Amino acid sequence: MPGFRPVMKTHARVGFLGGHSRYAREMPATRFVQLSLGALLALTLAACASGRRGSFPATDTGLADSGSSDSGSGDGSTPDSGTPDSGALDTGPDAPSCTAPVIDCGGTCVDPQTDAMNCGACGTTCTAAQECLVGTCTARCTTPTPDRCDTTCVDLTSDSAHCGACGTACTGTEICNASMCEIPCPTGETACSGACVDLMADESNCGACGNPCSTGERCSAGTCMMTSVDSVLIYYDSFTTGEIPAQLAATRMGATRVIAEAGEAAFNSQYDGDTWDVVVVSVAGGAIPAGVRTRVLSRITAGEPLIFSWWDLDSDAALQTALGVTVVSYSSPRPLHPATGAPVNLFSSVETFPVPLTNSHDAGDNGDLLTPTGTASVLVRQDSPTGGNVAVLTNGGTTLVNGFLPWDYRGTDNDMDSVPDMVEMMVNELSYF
């Protein structure tokens, strides 16, 4: 029949989505497959675009999302936030970042060299009596060496290698005292600003370092006292009347009672009949009478001011003991110098005259070199500021012993001021008291 085309026997009945079976029609099998695949692809794309998961569940591949936000239209569900996933699985709190020598112990950075709870290794704990030192539990430093310098226990108040601070070393003959390097001082003296002084008599350090006495005061037994020499009693021999240095000095100072006696009985009577600010004994050629000696010893015991000089002191051991010295006799008068570090300068404290003081006479046996037996301050030395001791303060600053003889220097006036230099020295000695 014209216009008739044979039809393939193989057909498929397809019901279109949303239609009814009555609208089904027959089509070739190849066209059916094409339509089916197209419909499936469209449905898949629609599901992905709408975010709907109920019809076509997706399998998580583990890859990070693109980060693009869904539009959220078409299916009524809540849109994604759009924030990209990190792509890494979180396993818990991050471990601390510790830089050597610090290490991680249970989530905390510690130094195993010093941490007493983790000494040398995590969990190694030191006892209360220990400290962690270079990674090892070590006994703490205690008295008498309570301070630690590196690995050594020391006492910073007395250790000469670590004086006041680790590594601060004293030099030479210095010692560490109260955390300060000082020169070592004889018994009875104290180091003050690098010098050994007698705190009982030093007018710049009276009773304590750095405690000076005021003008007109003296340091006696560690206490600053006003100089109030108003009465002076003198026992002498060998001098001519009117040239006794102590008498001239007391008068020059304005003392209202100045008595000089060369006889034992007269001296004893004066001594016993009144009180005296200072007693002076200056014997250049004879013996000391028993009565005078007794009163000298009594005055020393009472701690009352005494200036003493006797050419033959080396013959009386008991008197040496009371005066606080031992002696060696010498001949030929020597130049006199202020002693280095003396608490009072007998060449300039009140009156000033040239150094050295040279002799004008020679008594033959010219006195004694003095060695203190107790607390003492050296005031005058022979030949140089560091020579032999010839004038010392003893007995807590109440006794001044002159090893030289004032008689040998009585006529010297090196500064040519018409006042003998020995008179000026005696003014300074009396003014000390």
Q: Can you tell me the distance from the alpha carbon of 315 to that of 422, in angstroms, rounded to the nearest whole number?
A: 26
Distance from C-alpha of 119 to C-alpha of 256, rounded to nearest angstrom: 82
User: What does each of the 433 residues of the chain score in pLDDT, given as a tens digit?
Assistant: 444 444 444 444 444 444 444 444 444 555 544 555 665 555 555 554 554 444 444 444 444 444 444 444 444 445 455 555 554 555 556 667 899 889 999 999 999 999 999 999 999 999 999 999 889 999 999 989 999 998 889 999 999 999 999 999 998 888 898 898 888 888 888 888 878 888 887 888 998 999 998 876 767 667 786 667 889 999 999 999 889 999 999 988 878 899 999 999 999 999 999 999 999 999 999 999 999 999 999 999 999 999 999 999 999 999 999 999 999 999 999 999 999 989 899 998 888 999 999 999 999 999 999 999 988 999 999 999 999 999 999 999 999 999 999 999 999 999 999 999 999 999 999 988 8
Question: At what angle are helices 290-302 and 264-273 packed, to 10 degrees?
Answer: 30
pLDDT value, residue 153: 94
Domains and CATH numbers, the chain: 112-141 (no CATH), 151-184 (no CATH), 224-432 (3.40.50.880)
Category of 193 on φ-ψ map: left (φ > 0), alpha (ψ -120 to 50) or beta = left
Residue 275's nearest CA partner among 329, 229, 326, 341 is 229
Spell out the residues 6+ positions from residue 396 whose beta carbon is closer than 8 angstroms to its own: 200, 201, 220, 221, 222, 303, 375
Rg of the chain, C-alpha, whole Å:
55
Alpha-carbon gap, residue 178 to 158, rounded angstroms? 6
Q: Are 269 and 289 in contact (CB under 8 A)?
A: no
Cα–Cα distance, 175 to 166 (Å, whole number): 15
Question: Are the C-beta atoms of 220 and 396 separated by less than 8 Å?
Answer: yes
The DSSP-derived string for 42-98 is: HHHHHHHHHT--SSS-----SPPP--PPP---SS-PPPP--PPP-SS---SSPPP--
Residue type, 231: S
Angle 245-253/421-432 helices, nearest 10 degrees? 60
Backbone dihedral angles phi then psi of residue 297, each to the nearest 5 degrees: -65, -40
Q: CB–CB of 335/382 below 8 Å?
A: yes
Pick left, alpha or beta for residue 277 (phi over 0 → left; psi -120 to 50 → alpha; otherwise beta). alpha
N residues, the chain: 433
What is 22-33 written as a DSSP string?
GG-EEE-HHHHH
User: CB-based contacts of 10: which residues, under 8 Å, 6+ apart?
Assistant: 28, 29
